[in-house]
Amino acid sequence: MYRFTNLIAPGIAAALLFSLSACGTTTTDRAASGGLLGAAAGAAIGSLYGDAGKGAVIGGVVGAGAGALTDPCSVNLGDPVWSDQNASREDYYRRCGHYPPY
């Protein structure tokens, strides 16, 4: 069990964090969603070590950074719940050249 909690669980959480780090097409949306996902992953990892709060803060900062730095044309998981779906989608199409089928 020691090996799982110290090596494998943080590795899995880090891989999930970076693969799911950004929803949205604007840098702000991607940073916000990455921060939320990172905080959740960090809290889960931190709870294994007895300090979920510290893990949430670290995960939130790393997730927000990863979300802000990833390219929406490469990693796009859709629009976040809080965004104006049509406005950000049009920006994505214009920036990345992926137009919807008509």
Question: Left (φ > 0), alpha (ψ -120 to 50) or beta: where does 31 sit?
Answer: alpha
Residue 22 is predicted with a pLDDT of 59
With a CB cutoff of 8 Å and minimum separation 6, the contacts of 91 are: 25, 26
What pLDDT does 61 receive? Answer: 93
Mean of pLDDT values over 57-84: 77
Q: What is the pLDDT of residue 60?
A: 92
Please give the Cα distance from 76 to 79 (Å, whole number).
8
Q: What is the mean pLDDT of residues 86-92?
A: 63
> Within 13 Å of residue 62, how many CA atoms lie on the same side as its CB?
20
CA-based nearest residue to 30, from 73, 87, 90, 70:
70
Residue that wins the pLDDT comparison between 36 and 73:
36
Which has more pLDDT, 13 or 29? 29
Q: Return the pLDDT at 57.
A: 92
Q: Is the pLDDT of residue 89 over 80?
A: no
Question: Which of 23 and 53 is assigned the larger pLDDT?
Answer: 53
